[in-house]
């Protein structure tokens, strides 16, 4: 097959939450982009996503928050239940908190984009910098090559764009997470509360999306570091039930009534705080966002919201340095301007992401720790660095 070459101003690799949010933010600032998604349809692995008040600030900037609020109820309270200690602790929800179906979120983001923005079935093979222009080129598995002024990798934890930036793979927690959705008939309504229950090193959680649709998760230690996790829904369901020894029976009822197609079982991954602090996240006019840059454990519920914040901050910084018209017409002489915009985006995001990553890293290690001494030390560090339990929700990504 003869190769086909295309030229585009901005190419986003990955059509998940991060990629779609980034494309929408750029669109609202007047920039044209295309989104390359390897799947044949929109992907929404994970069932649902908790969105805290900082995430809603970012969604408001993208102009989709009002529509999304119609598909998810506000959560009024949160509870932390420690079975081993016999404790029930109420957690303060500081500001708007809702749980969104991932499919609802990605569909709303996709619908807000111009027709033709998303290209499904587009798997990238490589990224390289052109020897003459120093602008990036993408090689696709279908034989096409795409020349771009800017490339943003939003392609998740196994990011090929991150590989191009030589960031190395994310690190692994010793835990995995099972996620699912359960729908009940109208006769049973769930309280508008988020509930997290812990016994030993196993944590369960429930977040109602509507009065009858509930998102739930189980975080549990994995027996072997290299163990292959099941993909078959029945096997995932069985593994979930087997992990619930000593937990209230109503959680097992959730699993028994779950939508099998919603089940997923994933190994928890993270980028270490020191990697975010010290590594370079730009090469030429290529950079990354979302999980590709800062995948973190789910212990704060901030991974998705942080990705939406990335989108707002990136588009704002690019627009401050160059207009859509200049980007379209620019040659080699404008490359430095684009690089400066990316550097400003990375600078603005760095400490926010380092703090989120540090807090989730500590919480993940606390969950996995079997040493009382280690647990005590981690608790002291958390109390010193993150004395405000809701501090991470007070961040404002600013206006688009």
- Residue 356 within a domain: yes
Question: What DSSP state is assigned to residue 223?
Answer: S
At residue 236, what are phi and psi to the nearest 5 degrees? -65, -45
pLDDT of residue 93: 87
Q: Pseudo-torsion of CA 291, 296, 302, 308, nearest 10°? A: -10
Domain of 23: which CATH number?
3.50.50.60
- Residue 14 within a domain: yes
pLDDT of residue 1: 44
- Residue 21 within a domain: yes
Spatial separation of the C-alpha atoms in residues 347 and 360, rounded to whole Å: 21
- Residue 176 within a domain: no
Within 10 angstroms of residue 21's Cβ, the number of other Cβ atoms is 32
| pTM of the model as a whole | 0.95
Cβ contacts of 18 within 8 Å, gap of 6 or more: 154, 289, 290, 291, 292, 307, 308, 310, 311
Per residue in 152-163, pLDDT tens? 999 999 999 999
- Residue 258 within a domain: no
How many domains is the chain partitioned into structurally?
1
pLDDT of residue 44: 73
**Domain membership of residue 20 as a residue range:** 5-43+103-171+271-393
- Residue 380 within a domain: yes
Give the DSSP letter string of 91-135. E---S--EEEEHHHHHHHHHHTSPTT-EEET--EEEEEE-TTT--
- Residue 152 within a domain: yes
Instruction: Please say whether the beta carbons of 74 and 95 come within 8 A.
Output: no
Spatial separation of the C-alpha atoms in residues 154 and 19, rounded to whole Å: 5
Low-confidence ranges of the chain (pLDDT < 70): 1-3, 186-188, 224-226, 331-332
- Residue 308 within a domain: yes
Length of the chain: 400
């Amino acid at each position: 097959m003869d190769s086909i070459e295309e030229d585009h101003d901005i190419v986003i690799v990955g059509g998940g939450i991060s990629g779609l949010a980034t494309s929408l933010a750029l669109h609202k600032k007047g920039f044209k982009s295309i989104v390359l998604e390897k799947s044949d349809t929109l992907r929404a692995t994970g069932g649902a996503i908790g969105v805290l008040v900082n995430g809603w600030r970012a969604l408001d900037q993208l102009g989709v928050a009002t529509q999304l609020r119609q598909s998810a109820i506000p959560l009024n309270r949160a509870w932390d239940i420690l079975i081993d200690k016999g404790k029930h602790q109420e957690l303060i929800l500081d500001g708007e908190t809702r749980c969104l179906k991932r499919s609802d979120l990605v569909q709303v983001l996709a619908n807000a984009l111009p027709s033709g923005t998303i290209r499904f079935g587009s798997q990238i093979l490589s990224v390289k910098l052109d020897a003459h222009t120093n602008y990036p080129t993408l090689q696709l598995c279908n034989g096409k090559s795409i020349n771009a002024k800017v490339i943003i990798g939003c392609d998740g934890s196994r990011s090929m764009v991150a590989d191009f930036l030589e960031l190395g793979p994310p690190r692994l927690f010793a835990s995995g997470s099972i996620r699912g959705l359960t729908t009940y008939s109208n006769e049973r309504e769930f309280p508008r509360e988020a509930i997290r229950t812990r016994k030993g090193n196993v944590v369960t959680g429930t977040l109602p999306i509507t009065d009858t649709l509930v998102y739930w998760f189980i975080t549990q230690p994995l027996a072997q570091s290299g163990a292959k996790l099941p993909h078959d829904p029945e096997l995932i369901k069985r593994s979930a039930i087997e992990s619930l020894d000593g937990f209230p029976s109503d959680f097992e009822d959730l699993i028994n009534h779950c939508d099998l197609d919603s089940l997923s079982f994933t190994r928890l991954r993270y980028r270490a705080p020191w990697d975010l602090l010290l590594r370079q996240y730009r090469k030429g006019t290529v950079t990354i966002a979302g999980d590709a840059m800062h995948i973190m454990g789910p212990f704060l519920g901030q991974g998705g919201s942080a990705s939406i914040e990335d989108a707002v901050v990136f588009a704002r910084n690019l627009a401050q340095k160059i207009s859509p018209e200049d980007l379209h017409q620019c040659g080699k002489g404008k490359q430095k301007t684009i690089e400066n915009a990316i550097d400003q985006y990375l600078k603005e995001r760095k400490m926010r992401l380092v703090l989120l990553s540090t807090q989730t890293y500590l919480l993940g290690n606390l969950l996995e720790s079997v040493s009382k001494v280690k647990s005590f030390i981690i608790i002291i560090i958390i109390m010193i660095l993150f004395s405000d339990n809701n501090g991470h929700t007070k961040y404002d990504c600013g206006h688009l």
